[in-house]
Amino acid sequence: MGSEERQAILEELQALNDQIDAEVGQAKWSDKYLLGQPSTEHSATGTNDDLNFQIGFGTTGGANELAFNIAGNVWSSGTQTVFTAAGLDVVAGNTVRSVSNFATLSTDYSKNVLATTAVNNSTVGQFEGGHYTLEISTSNYTGSGATAQAQVVIRLRDSNGDLVTIDADGADGGDTATALTTILSAGATHIELDLGGGLVVSLSGISTSSSESAVWSFDFTEAGNSVSSQGNAQLFMEKIDTAITRVSKALSYIGAMQNRLSFQEASLSVAKTNTLASYNQIMNADMAYEQLEATKLQILQQTATAMLATANMMPQNVLALFR
């Protein structure tokens, strides 16, 4: 596959990254982000607020409340990872590198920065992912006072302690060696040096009159979300598969919560019907039953009146026999 085809695939993947982030921003209900709210635009982390449903009678909380949180279910609680392209780790780029677990083992400098950049020396190539130790030393090179110059020497060692080939002068391209050596001009106290394999060292507070040193350790992550080669494309595919697994887990969670809410709805509907029936039995008369009772009482009243009239006539009939 040629470079033009790979570039076209990369542009399509980047457009899909934008669409993923747009979907996350639009997936809201009751003013809450269902897939997590990024802390900044396109960031991997943010806030995963629970969407609480009152599913029972009584006070909130406990069995009467259902907490719905998609991102919080997919990622472990407390990580606050969201469903952006960065959160799913499927951001497509020409080069994606990162430095993590940076630690200062010793330093004489007032400020130090280690950053990633493009690979500017094809001979060095890109550093492999892994743990590295950076050794820096500066010393007076020539002159004194306002004319003093400092010599800066940088060495990079891998996890085995072996020296790594880096750019020899800290400039774009150029020679390579196991040590980078450069001269800091008089009066300057800040310098940025490109190691050539995707790393940049920024030094501040350098003394041009005395010797200083620093030792740093860090983990370097090489390009993984690039399609510039078959190997990188394969790594990218593995990350996409992992992202699909997370999305599938989220869909399963949504389905389970939907089923639970459906069952709860049916249960609440039965409870509502029973409650209304009890209320009507207490507060409302059964008109058919009461009408039947009234008719029965009317018949009994008429029967009693007729019997009383008959009973009143019997003494008169007896007295008539003696006339």
The verdict on 15 and 54 lying in the same domain is yes
The verdict on 155 and 213 lying in the same domain is yes
- Output 181 or 231, whichever has higher pLDDT: 181
Query: How far apart, in whole angstroms, are the C-alpha atoms of residue 221 and residue 213?
Result: 25
* Structural domain that includes position 262: 3-92+231-267
Q: How many domains does the chain have?
A: 2
The verdict on 190 and 211 lying in the same domain is yes
Residue 251 confidence (pLDDT) = 94
Residue 298 confidence (pLDDT) = 93
Q: Is the pLDDT of residue 56 over 80?
A: no
pTM: 0.52
The verdict on 33 and 109 lying in the same domain is no
The mean pLDDT of the chain is 83
pLDDT digits 0-9 by tens, 214-253? 999 988 876 557 777 777 788 788 889 999 999 999 999 9
Cβ atoms < 10 Å from Cβ of 202: 14
Note whether residue 109 is domain-resident: yes
Where a domain ends, among 222, 239, 254?
222
At residue 323 the predicted structure's pLDDT band, cuts being 50, 70 and 90, is low
pLDDT digits 0-9 by tens, 200-215? 888 887 877 788 899 9
Query: How far apart, in whole angstroms, are the C-alpha atoms of residue 114 and residue 201?
Result: 5
